[in-house]
Structure 1
């Protein structure tokens, strides 16, 4: 493998460290928040989140079909 390619890959990975650390801290914080709630509250939060994600995916699929129809 070319040494320039290895250097660029290492630089790109190092630039993502702050994002990975931030995401890890957010996940730990949310995990702690989940532990402070009852099982029913956690279940309701999960169901609500899945519903929102499903609506987002549905919107993305509709947008893709709309773009495909224009082409």
Structure 2
């Protein structure tokens, strides 16, 4: 999850309280700890973001996904 609105936060809280088993993540670091497939997915996402960052006018730092905080959208 990269950004969330107040409504989205309410939905995730309700899902968590209902005991849902659908996994979701707010941290690539935590995702990578879940297993080899999840680690590969997290690494691929981080590489894709780093490559995308190179194409921007202002180059973003490498591994930005591992350091970014979740944005709150109003």
Please state which band the TM-score falls in when normalised by the shorter chain. Answer: 0.3 to 0.5
More strand by share: 2
Scaled by the length of structure 1, the TM-score of the pair is 0.40
| Larger RCO: 1 or 2 (CA < 8 Å, sep 6+) | 2
TM-score (norm 2): 0.38
Choose between structure 1 and 2: higher helix proportion: 1
